[in-house]
Chain A
Amino acid sequence: MKYVTSLVTSVALAGIAFATSVSASTLEEVQNRGELRCGVSGGVPGFSAPNDAGKMVGIDAAVCDAVAAAVLGDASKVTYIPLNAKERFTALSSGEIDVLSRNTTHTLTREASLGLNFTYYNYIDGQGFMVMKDAGISSALELDGASICVQAGTTTELNMADYFRNNNMDYTPVGYETSTQTREGFEGGACDVLTSDKSQLAALSTEMADPSSILILPETISKEPLGPVVAQGDDQWMDIVAFTLYALINAEELGVTSANIDDLVANPGNPSVGRLVGAEGDTGEKLGLAADWSYQVIKQVGNYGEIYEATVEPIGIPRAGSVNDLWTRGGILYAPPIR
């Protein structure tokens, strides 16, 4: 009897090993499931953090909402999956999440060797340093010998190493797993400096006991284009995520907001606006989505400017004239036309 049991077990296990998943397209999977699984950070105010009502809000979470609105017609059908820096790529390439929208920097290594595709950028950032005001530091070049809190396993860690090596300075890294822990460590005095993307520094400083006691140094030591990421091998899904983001940016450029979109559907005027709001053309059909996909996105989530104002503005990062402004206003946000 013992033999029989072990035999059956072995055969069953072997069977499992063979059952390689026959993958349907991501779009079909999401539509059949009726919800979008979206990987977020879950702990960075302005990007993705739970609000008082427990809903995940922020500019990264808004991208998830927009994709859900485009694909399912309902921005609320999102399951946010909080991931730390280490887990995020494995979660995406193993199919645990459909989209990764977690302030993730686009780099060659990630694009080429991790089986990922970056779509476009929802926030363009750069790395900076934060110190206590009473340390009397005014430039990053004065940081020789400092202990620096950093989130382990991020591009931040690499830029910092490059910057210090390049400037012949020494430092001691204190690596934590989450950005919340880096803040706790910095506040507790485990390090002299906290380094992260500047938006995150602003976000973290809002959570400190005394936000006025800190100083963000003027240097920006890296380029950090952050945006939603999808797994390789499903071009249609990549197009959907990319054009959802483009739709948000185009909507702002064309003056389409969640408030005026209903009027514009009835009376678009400009043909570009007509195509964007779904009154003209067949963009939905081409992407494999409902005809009103872009209408749902803008109606339910708002355009890029509205999202920015609601999420990133409150943590103290003004937009006017920054890189994150539209190309027509001196920034570099530039989306291909929806046509």
Chain B
Amino acid sequence: MSKTKIPFYRNPKIRSLFVQIFVLSLVSFLIFSIYQTTVSNLIERGIQTSTSFFDDVAPFKIGFSPFLDFDLGKTTYIEVFYIGILNTILIAILGIIASTILGFIVGIVRLSPNWLASKCALVYIEVFRNVPLLLQIMFWNFAVFLATLPPPKKSIEFGFLYLNSRGLHTPIPYVEDELRFNFWIFILLMTAVGCIFLSKWAKKSFEHTGVKRPVFFYNFLIFTILATLSYLALGGPLEFDIPVLGKFNFKGGGQLPLPLFSLWFALTIYTSAFIAENVRAGISSVSTGQLEAANSIGLNRTQTINMIVIPQAMRVIIPPTISQFLNLTKNSSLAVAVGYEEIVAVWAGISLNQTGQAVIIIAMTIIVYECMSLFTSFMLNMYNRKVQITER
């Protein structure tokens, strides 16, 4: 068999490589020329662009920064950027947790055989899914919470909790005596280890004898009782900073500001309506044959749901729910309407306007959202891979 030499330009591998290099260089060139055009236009219009403002002191104040202390006259612009990121992450995490729980409940109720419950869930989903989110945020903040909650001087009190139009004020614990506190933490850790052993033993005994014990309940009981007793025995190793009404507002203690609460509430309600639909779709996707099989081997309703329905439904629920989590994170940028200080408000809003560095600031904001979205979907995709059918 004679070997005919194929000319290199007819080799599909080389040809596609060539085309790819060509397209790649064109795209790089495109990005480069956009950059060049932007820079030259900025110079032509007399707009100064530089990152030197990062270390300038921010001439304004940020009210809510639970993770980094804001010190007017010392905090710099780049710290404002970090505060914005942290506040965005806070609302994203709070929203994701709450909307997942609420979404699952509503989704399950939607499939309930009880006609009234199912129709109520339907109304919930259709109402909150179809009203624009910005409108809902403003509605909850201005028309519901601000209109109903009293001013600080007439706060609603639950013990040491105070609820008013500025938000919820709570006592926060702090450590007075380190030795006693560390000892208490040690006792808690030991109890936790004990609980873990207990559940391991219970699992083993279940596998051997088939006797199921309410071990979670036991553990909870043991832990609570021991924690309380040791806390009292040590004479209360924690002190509490209790909010006190000042001239205008409560001072001291912790605060869940109303803008955060309104935003959290609105995002949760809105996103949970979508998640509920995902849950419904997931559960409906489990074939009736599976349920009949579960019944025929004598599993009860709880067992059927926990062991048969949910594991199979998760495979359908998770992928669309990931994008709901991403939506929630991005939607948190609507916070500016109610005055919650997340990244778009403090960085792409206030800082941009005070420094005028639009290009740099917007680019940084885009990168932050990009990173957060990629991180969220990376984590959830890992989880998704775990629950998908493992093919052997």
Contact among A10, A172, A188 for B63, CB-based, below 8 A = A172
How far is it, in angstroms, between the C-alpha of A110 and the C-alpha of B352 when the chains are bound? 12
Contact B339 A190 (CB under 8 A): yes
Contact A152 B336 (CB under 8 A): yes
CB neighbours (8 Å) of B29 from chain A are: 14
A308 interface residue per 8 A CB criterion: no
Per-position contact with A for B211-226: 1 when CB-CB < 8 Å, else 0?
A: 0000000000000000
A322 interface residue per 8 A CB criterion: no
Residue with the greatest number of chain A CB neighbours at <10 A, chosen from B33, B60, B358: B60
A254 interface residue per 8 A CB criterion: no
Contact among B40, B73, B337, B341 for A165, CB-based, below 8 A = B73
Contact A233 B27 (CB under 8 A): no
CB neighbours (8 Å) of B72 from chain A are: 161, 164-165
Q: Given the interface contacts A177-B349, A190-B146, does A17 sit within 8 Å of B59 by beta carbon?
A: no
A141 interface residue per 8 A CB criterion: no
A321 interface residue per 8 A CB criterion: no
A154 interface residue per 8 A CB criterion: yes
Contact B349 A153 (CB under 8 A): yes
CB neighbours (8 Å) of B150 from chain A are: 189
Q: Given the interface contacts A153-B352, A153-B353, A174-B63, does A90 sit within 8 Å of B30 by beta carbon?
A: no
Contact A3 B350 (CB under 8 A): no
Contact A20 B337 (CB under 8 A): no
Per-position contact with A for B249-264: 1 when CB-CB < 8 Å, else 0?
A: 1010000001100000
Q: Given the interface contacts A161-B60, A172-B63, A192-B248, does A7 sit within 8 Å of B47 by beta carbon?
A: no
Binds A, one of B2-10, B18-26, B81-89: B18-26
Contact among B23, B45, B259, B349 for A232, CB-based, below 8 A = B45
Contact A113 B356 (CB under 8 A): yes
Please provide the chain A residues from 1 to 51 with a CB less than 8 Å away from any CB of chain B in the complex.
Answer: 3, 6-7, 10-11, 13-14, 17-18, 20
- Residue on A with the closest CB to B42? A115
A252 interface residue per 8 A CB criterion: no
How far is it, in angstroms, between the C-alpha of A232 and the C-alpha of B48 when the chains are bound? 12
Per-position contact with A for B232-274: 1 when CB-CB < 8 Å, else 0?
A: 0000000000000011110100000011000000000000000
CB neighbours (8 Å) of A143 from chain B are: 248
Per-position contact with B for A107-119: 1 when CB-CB < 8 Å, else 0?
A: 0011011110000
CB neighbours (8 Å) of A144 from chain B are: 247
A85 interface residue per 8 A CB criterion: yes
Contact B33 A6 (CB under 8 A): no
B97 interface residue per 8 A CB criterion: no
CB neighbours (8 Å) of A177 from chain B are: 336-337, 349
How far is it, in angstroms, between the C-alpha of A232 and the C-alpha of B41 when the chains are bound? 12
Task: Count B-side interface residues using an 8 Å CB cutoff.
Answer: 54
A320 interface residue per 8 A CB criterion: no
B46 interface residue per 8 A CB criterion: yes
A-B contact count (CB 8 A): 149
How far is it, in angstroms, between the C-alpha of A176 and the C-alpha of B42 when the chains are bound? 29
CB neighbours (8 Å) of A13 from chain B are: 30
A246 interface residue per 8 A CB criterion: no
How far is it, in angstroms, between the C-alpha of A261 and the C-alpha of B134 when the chains are bound? 50
Residue with the greatest number of chain B CB neighbours at <10 A, chosen from A3, A175, A185: A175
Contact among B23, B47, B354, B355 for A115, CB-based, below 8 A = B47
A146 interface residue per 8 A CB criterion: yes
How far is it, in angstroms, between the C-alpha of A339 and the C-alpha of B147 when the chains are bound? 58
How far is it, in angstroms, between the C-alpha of A190 and the C-alpha of B260 when the chains are bound? 12
Contact among B33, B42, B248, B352 for A145, CB-based, below 8 A = B248
B165 interface residue per 8 A CB criterion: yes
A162 interface residue per 8 A CB criterion: yes
CB neighbours (8 Å) of A233 from chain B are: 44-46
CB distance from A191 to the nearest CB of B (A): 8
Contact A171 B61 (CB under 8 A): yes
Closest 6 A/B residue pairs (Cβ): A188-B146, A153-B353, A189-B165, A10-B26, A115-B47, A115-B46
Q: Could you write out 28 A-B pairs with CB less than 8 Å apart? A: A14-B30, A17-B34, A17-B37, A18-B37, A20-B41, A86-B349, A86-B352, A86-B353, A90-B358, A113-B47, A113-B356, A114-B356, A115-B46, A144-B247, A145-B249, A146-B247, A147-B63, A149-B339, A153-B350, A161-B72, A162-B59, A172-B249, A173-B60, A175-B339, A176-B339, A177-B337, A181-B339, A189-B151
